[in-house]
Structure 1
Amino acid sequence: MELKNTVAVVTGANRGLGRQLATQLLERGAKVYAAARRPETVDLAGVTPLRLDVTDEESIRAAARIASDATLLVNNAGISTATPLIAGGTDAVRLEMETNFFGPLAVTRAFAPVIEGNGGGAVLNVLSVLSWLHPAGLGAYAAAKAAAWALTNAAREELAPRGITVSALHVGYMDTDMAAAIPADQKVDPADVATQALTGLEQGLLEILADDTTRYVKQSLSAAPNAE
Structure 2
Amino acid sequence: MELKGATAVVTGANRGLGRHLAEQLIQRGAKVYAAARRPETVDLEGVTPLRLDVTDEASIREAARIASDATLLINNAGIALYNPLIAGDMDSVHAEMNTNFFGPLAATRAFAPVIEKNGGGAVLNILSVISWWHPAQAGSYAASKAAAWAMSGAVREELAPRGVAVSALHVAYMDTDMTANVPSEDKADPAGVATQALDGIAAGLPEILADDTTRQVKRGLADAPTVG
- Common fold by TM > 0.5: yes
Alignment partner, residue 51 of structure 2: 51
In the alignment, does 2:206 pair up with 1:200? no
Q: Distance in 2 between matches of 1:184 and 1:85?
A: 24
Alignment partner, residue 160 of structure 2: 160
Quote how far apart the aligned CAs of 1:184 are: 5.1
**Could you tell me the TM-score, scaled by structure 2's length?**
0.99
Q: Distance in 2 between matches of 1:40 and 1:27?
A: 22
Q: How does 1:65-144 map to 2 (within 5 A)?
A: 65-144=65-144
**Could you tell me the TM-score, scaled by structure 1's length?**
0.99
**Partner-residue secondary structure (3-state), 2:103:** helix
| Matched residue type, 2:23 | T
Alignment partner, residue 187 of structure 2: 187
**Partner-residue secondary structure (3-state), 1:168:** strand
> Does structure 2 retain, via aligned residues, the 8 Å contact 1:175–1:184?
no
Q: Distance in 2 between matches of 1:12 and 1:163?
A: 25
Deviation per CA, 1:4-41, whole angstroms, max 9, x where unpaired?
Answer: 00000000000000000000000000000000000000
Q: How does 1:8-87 map to 2 (within 5 A)?
A: 8-87=8-87
- Runs (4+) of structure 1 exceeding 2 A deviation are none
**Partner-residue secondary structure (3-state), 1:220:** helix
Deviation per CA, 1:145-196, whole angstroms, max 9, x where unpaired?
Answer: 0000000000000000100000000000000000001235120000000000
Q: Distance in 2 between matches of 1:183 and 1:92?
A: 22
Q: Distance in 1 between matches of 2:98 and 2:112?
A: 19
Q: Distance in 1 between matches of 2:81 and 2:209?
A: 24
Deviation per CA, 1:50-93, whole angstroms, max 9, x where unpaired?
Answer: 00000001100000000000000000000011100000011000
Gaps of 5+ in 2: none
Q: Distance in 1 between matches of 2:98 and 2:183?
A: 29
